[in-house]
């Protein structure tokens, strides 16, 4: 998942940097003039935030699983940290959009909704496994987590796919 999101981020840098130059990374408030720019920046912010969180969280996940504490405490710390990480991701996406006064694209909204599903499933697991020692919701956690991740990746892929297809159509037509 991290590699694919990294490829999406690379697509944005390779295809949009020639047009926007350093403004791609350092856009100021009020510089977005069209809905197309709002959509591009919204998708770029979402992909960037997802990528940074994935890169920073993967080592944390391994560290949390290697802690030398009892299993119940490890379960509580693991799921509570996931709730915190997802919350940080949601807040960072909101703040970046607010900071540059960018409208939320449809893809970003779908990603935010799936993050709400992920945070709900993680919280349910925290309560069920951590506090009630009920371990029968593993399938719900896996389906909810993987389903939300898959929908998020598909939503983040929509803008690059649509723009790439439009580019090839334009090249074909001359």
Number of CB atoms found within 10 A of residue 37's CB? 16
CA angle 119, 95, 46 (to 5 degrees): 65
CA atoms lying within 13 Å on the CB side of residue 27: 24
| pTM for the structure as a whole | 0.88
Q: Bigger pLDDT: 136 or 113?
A: 113
Question: Looking at residue 32, what is its pLDDT?
Answer: 79
Give percent above pLDDT 70 in the chain: 98
Output the pLDDT for position 114.
96
Residue 23 has pLDDT above 80, yes or no: no
Q: What does the pLDDT read at residue 43?
A: 93
Give the tokens for residue 56: 């920073």
pLDDT digits (tens, 9 = 90+) for 53-105: 999 988 888 888 788 888 888 889 989 999 999 999 999 999 999 988 889 99
Confidence of residue 47 (pLDDT cuts 50, 70, 90): very high
Token couple for 24: 């791609």
Q: What local confidence, expressed as pLDDT, does residue 134 receive?
A: 87
pLDDT at res. 26: 76
Q: Please tell me the distance from the alpha carbon of residue 172 to that of residue 101, in angstroms, as a whole number.
A: 36
> What pLDDT was estimated at residue 173?
87
Report the pLDDT value the prediction gives residue 133, as an integer from 0 to 100. Answer: 86
C-alpha–C-alpha distance, residues 146 and 140, integer Å:
10
Give the pLDDT score at 61. 81
């Amino acid at each position: 998942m991290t590699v694919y999101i990294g490829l999406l981020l690379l697509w944005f840098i390779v295809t949009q940097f020639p047009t926007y130059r350093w403004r791609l990374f350092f856009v100021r408030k009020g510089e977005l003039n069209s809905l197309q720019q709002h959509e591009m920046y919204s998708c770029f912010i979402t992909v960037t935030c997802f990528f940074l969180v994935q890169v920073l969280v993967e080592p944390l996940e391994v560290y949390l699983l290697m802690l030398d504490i009892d299993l119940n405490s490890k379960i509580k710390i693991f799921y509570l940290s996931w709730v915190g990480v997802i919350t940080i991701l949601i807040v960072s996406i909101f703040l970046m959009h607010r900071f540059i006064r960018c409208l939320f694209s449809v893809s970003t909204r779908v990603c935010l909704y799936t993050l709400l599903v992920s945070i709900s499933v993680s919280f349910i697991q925290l309560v069920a496994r951590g506090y009630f020692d009920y371990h029968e919701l593993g399938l719900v956690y896996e389906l909810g987590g993987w389903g939300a991740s898959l929908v998020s990746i598909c939503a983040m892929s929509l803008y690059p796919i649509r723009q790439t297809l439009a580019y090839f159509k334009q090249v074909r037509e001359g």
